[in-house]
Amino acid sequence: MSKVWFITGASSGLGAALAAAVLQRGDSVAATFRKAEQASAFSQQDPVRAQGIVLDLTDGARIPAAVQEALAHFGRIDVLVNNAGYGTIGAIEEFTMDEIRAQFETNFFGMAALTQAVLPPMRAQGSGHILQLSSAAGIKATGGFGVYNASKFALEGFSEALAQEVAPFGIRVVIVEPGPFRTEFAGSSVQLAARRMDEYKTTPVAQMYHYISRIHGRQEGDPQKAARVLVDYVHNGNETLRLPLGKHPIDVIKAKLKSVEQDLETNRAIALSTLVDV
């Protein structure tokens, strides 16, 4: 059975690859773009199965209207893909609060508002998939990546709870955790803290600046392959909550789990010492 997808951030990278893979599969897609000319060009390739919608996730008032446009055109939304977002690099101390809030407005608050807008029609139809594009950075934090880490950690917690809340309505949530892919994430879309502090020049923050400058175009992940995996994953009825993509997230998540387990065992006696005496 063909499905109707709603994909945010489809102008480039994984979002663009996923929209193309959806159409190649024979499904339909409402894809969002920040520029009207991009949305129009997307619609023109297939006026029946492809609908370009202008949406900036930081414009909360526009989100319900964008969902209604998709429903008016297709009649339903089977798969929501919260893909739009960007990365930031810098020491936490280097960022202004406005920069931190801007990161969360797109990566978390916009995602949350869109999810809320799509849930009523999904509940009414008794089915749906919500693909949450997180990251390996949503599991394990790295110096110099802290603000981005925080936005993805928030998405992970939101999504874990959401999965439990909507399962009774036939809606599945998948937290997608990619590693580095050959997109513009480390290129034109990454934003650096406006302030650079000399104090961090010999810390892991400096290493992160260096990593981003050299990784672009050399990442391990192929967006087209990932897109096909996601389309197949939805159609094949897979039910796991988390889906890592690439070798990097497997290694990173294993390391995080090992670290947490070590901390638990080291501090077990201290933890149990705080119980009320019976």
DSSP 175-236: EEEE--BSSSTTTTT-EE-S---GGGTTSHHHHHHHHHHHHTT--SB-HHHHHHHHHHHHHT
Q: Is 148 in the active site? A: yes
pLDDT at position 183 is: 66
Residue 211 pLDDT level (bands cut at 50, 70, 90): confident
Indicate whether 188 pLDDT > 80: no
Residues spanned by the domain of 90: 4-247
In a domain, 262, yes or no: no
Letter for the amino acid at 79? V
- Out of 134, 135, 151, 159, pick the active-site residue: 134
Q: What is the pLDDT of residues 230-263, one digit of tens each?
A: 999 999 988 899 999 999 999 999 999 999 999 9
pLDDT at position 33 is: 96
Q: Which residues contact 87 (CB under 8 A, 6 or more apart)?
A: 145, 148, 185, 186, 189, 190, 191
Average pLDDT for residues 167-183, to the nearest whole number?
91
In a domain, 204, yes or no: yes
In a domain, 277, yes or no: no
Q: Is 225 in the active site? A: no
Torsion of CA 220, 222, 226, 228, to 10 degrees: -150
pLDDT at position 66 is: 98
pLDDT at position 191 is: 87
In a domain, 256, yes or no: no
- Out of 3, 11, 28, 148, pick the active-site residue: 148
Q: Which residues contact 208 (CB under 8 A, 6 or more apart)?
A: 89, 142, 143, 144, 145
In a domain, 128, yes or no: yes
Average pLDDT for residues 98-114, to the nearest whole number?
97
Give the CATH number, domain containing residue 184: 3.40.50.720
In a domain, 252, yes or no: no
CA distance 226 to 239: 18
Average pLDDT for residues 44-61, to the nearest whole number?
95
**DSSP character for 84?**
-
Average pLDDT, the chain: 94
- Out of 151, 152, 159, 209, pick the active-site residue: 152
Letter for the amino acid at 199? E
In a domain, 265, yes or no: no
Strands 242-245 and 128-133: unpaired
Residue 221 pLDDT level (bands cut at 50, 70, 90): confident
Q: Is 247 in the active site? A: no
CB atoms within 10 A of CB 200: 20
Query: How many domains are there within the chain?
Result: 1
In a domain, 200, yes or no: yes
Prediction pTM value: 0.93
CA distance 27 to 21: 9
Residue 46 pLDDT level (bands cut at 50, 70, 90): very high
Q: What are phi and psi of 7, to 5 degrees?
A: -120, 125
